[in-house]
Chains A and B, each alone.
Chain A
Amino acid sequence: MFDREEIVPLHEGEFRLIRDLIRDHCGIFFDDGSRFLLERRLSKD
């Protein structure tokens, strides 16, 4: 809404499923510390 960037938080299970999918698809691995990065990318329109 407007200028506010809302981050959609991922549950741990969701984060790991998406992480596994990305790793299997292109080999990029998001470790637990990179969860925020993934949440931010997924929250962008």
Chain B
Amino acid sequence: MQEMRKFLSDEDVELRRKGVLALRRRSSDDAIPLLLKAMEDTSWRVRKTAAEILLEEHPPERSVNGLIQLLSIEDNAGARNSAIETLVKLGKKATSFLLEAFETGNRDVRKFIIDIIGEVKDRKALPLLLKALKDDDDNVRASAVEHLGQMGDPAVVDALTEILKSGDLWTAFPAADALGRIGDKKAIPSLISALAVKALREPVLKGLGHLSAPETLEHIVPFLMDTSKTIQEEAIKTIGVFYHNGVSASFICETMSRLSGPDLINRLVSHAWSKKADIRVKAILLLGLMQDERALGPLLELYTEESLVEDVKRALVFIGRSKPGSLLPLFETDNQYQKRFITEVAVEVASPLYSAVFENFLSDGDGHVRASAAIGLSMLGNMTAIQVVKKLLSDPYEDVQEAAVTALSNLREGIDVDEFISYLKHKSPAMRRNAAMLLGAVGAENSVSALGYALKDEDVSVRQAVIEALSSMKTDESVKYLILGLTDENPHIRASAALSLGSVGGEKALDPLFLLLSDSDDTVKVSAIRSLGMRGERKAVKALIAMLADRNGFVVTTALESLGTLGGDEARDALMKMLASEDREIRRTAIRSLSSFEGLEEVTLPYLQDPDWATRVAAIEALGKRPTERVRTEVEKLFDREEDPVVRRAIKEAFDVR
């Protein structure tokens, strides 16, 4: 050890680092003091190596106080930073030590402790963060406010509101932002009051933007005309955030029109030329919402930005609904992508003014445009469109054909069912398939016999469409043909027919479905199992239990799910046995499927400790369906120690734990 000490004080960095490395696999008593000393080294590489060994090889409780002491070395920023990083990496294991160490007269150390605790986001430290809001030191208070905001805990809203009201700008500034992030509407009145303080307007507007409460918009709009350009910009951004978060275009437009003078449009136009991209974009959007035609061109150019595409679309639809004619010039473009986009907008506007454009676009070179145009034309409800849309049933692209089927089904009142029945014998397989799809989509029950005959079609895609069509009819005759589909030579058809029979009652399908449990194709077996579960066939329990011995995991997990749906003692016992499976996915599915049985919390609770994260998620989801007091207590304990983000999210969603 003496020799290692010598290495650690050598002038050569490499030798000092080697000295640190030589401390690997030493006892904590020997190694920790030297490793802590090495964390004061001038070289970051030496400090990093020492920190790694501390974290990897020694229990936190042996080193954490030494690390905290490093925080008070005033003339060595490197040592302080390394200690902070290491304490953050220790996470919740360091919390209780840090809470104790906060009782120090050294304000820098108090600030570092708040920063570390804020990074770790341990709820146990919330009382300390709240206490730090009243610290003598400005920096400690500001840090506490900032971290409380990042933790997003509604429990701190009252404390932050007090700070906002206190008049202490240093802490009120981050408090406004924090209140917005937490998203508790309780904060709204104090945020609105704080708008009166000039210095707080910027963070308060930002906070109100996070909340996006429509009733606050009238307090924000007047700032569009503020004398300060910075505040005007913040108001533009805030209203843009309201719009992005779903506040309706008409409400924003009405509020802006009501509360701003005639200069608003000119003011927005000037911001639409801003050099700041985010201001420019939001100003253009607001101009669009004010239905100013000067915004149309620039607005359309913004759709190429993925993050803006939905905002731009909504704005154009809003404009189009009140001034449909204003969009007409936008259709005249050689830009294929722009044409697709504006056609999609026009479909949503659905104005008769676009009828000629849609009809013209049915023969466009771009498949997307043809498909949208067909849908758009059908939305206008004009039956004369049937003849032109029908031509797209033989389009080279299947997607366009499908759009034509959807469009024709929108015009079902004008459809000649007999004509489409005759298409089931068309020489083109695509026409036969599309005819079957359409007959299904319009629910033409008088076509069932013809569809049944088409089950003998040589083309698999036609037979597939026929099965789908028959499954939407649910008549005795259609069920008869679906049962016939269970014997098709193609496994996809057999599987589709089996699934379709899942939502139909009656005894006739039962035996054929049982037969499919020994089908040569696993997908067919899975579909038959699912179908029996959907039908609630208690008679199938024994057969489904037998499927639990199948070699295919997908077959087994589907059988578990169906048994969970069917219920009963026999099914429950079989599911319990599968908890011992070596296959993790089978165990997880058994846990989830058992959630439909009562009184099994004690069976599921141990899986909250499972080393496999996805098994813990399965247990959380299952227990979340019957959250007894004991279950909630155990899950909250898990939440306190759980570090896996997916498991934590599952707890939040199933138990509303924050």
Contacts and interface: CB of A to CB of B under 8 A. Distances in A.
B367 A2 contact: yes
B121 to A, nearest CB: 18
A2 to B, nearest CB: 5
A13 B617 contact: yes
Contacts of A37: none
A16 B613 contact: yes
Q: How large is the interface on B (under 10, 10 to 19, 20 to 34, 35 or more residues)?
A: 10 to 19
A1 B646 CA distance: 32
Nearest to A20: B614
Given A12-B645, A12-B646, A13-B646, A1 B399 contact: yes
Contacts of B92: none
Contacts of B525: none
Interface string B386-414: 00000000000101000000000000000
A2 B646 contact: no
A26 interface: no
B399 A16 contact: no
Q: How large is the interface on A (under 10, 10 to 19, 20 to 34, 35 or more residues)?
A: under 10
Interface in B71-104: none
A17 B615 CA distance: 11
Nearest to B614: A17
Contacts of B650: 13
Interface string A1-38: 11010000000110011001000000000000000000
B368 A2 contact: yes
Contacts of B397: 2
Contact of B614 (A1, A2, A4, A13): A13
Contacts of B645: 12
Interface SS, A side: helix
A13 B613 CA distance: 9
B157 to A, nearest CB: 29
A12 B649 CA distance: 10
A20 B611 CA distance: 14
B647 to A, nearest CB: 9
A20 B646 CA distance: 14
Nearest to B398: A1
B395 to A, nearest CB: 11
A19 to B, nearest CB: 11
A11 to B, nearest CB: 9
B304 to A, nearest CB: 14
Interface string B365-381: 00110000000000000
A12 B617 CA distance: 12
A1 B613 contact: no
B399 A2 contact: yes
A16 B613 CA distance: 10
Nearest to B366: A2
Contacts of B646: 12-13, 16
Contacts of A2: 367-368, 397, 399
Contacts of B614: 13, 16-17, 20
Nearest to A13: B646
A16 B399 CA distance: 33
Interface string B631-657: 000000000000001100110000000
A20 B617 CA distance: 15
Given A12-B645, A12-B646, A13-B646, A1 B617 contact: no
A18 B389 CA distance: 43
Most buried by B among A2, A4, A12: A2
Interface string B348-373: 00000000000000000001100000
B416 to A, nearest CB: 29
A16 B617 CA distance: 12
A28 to B, nearest CB: 19
Contacts of B613: 16
Contacts of A17: 614
Contacts of A20: 614
Interface string B422-435: 00000000000000
A4 B367 CA distance: 11
A33 to B, nearest CB: 16
7 contacts: A1-B368, A1-B399, A2-B367, A2-B368, A2-B399, A13-B646, A16-B646
Interface of A: 1-2, 4, 12-13, 16-17, 20
A-B pairs, top 4 by smallest CB distance, nearest first, are A1-B399, A13-B646, A2-B367, A12-B646
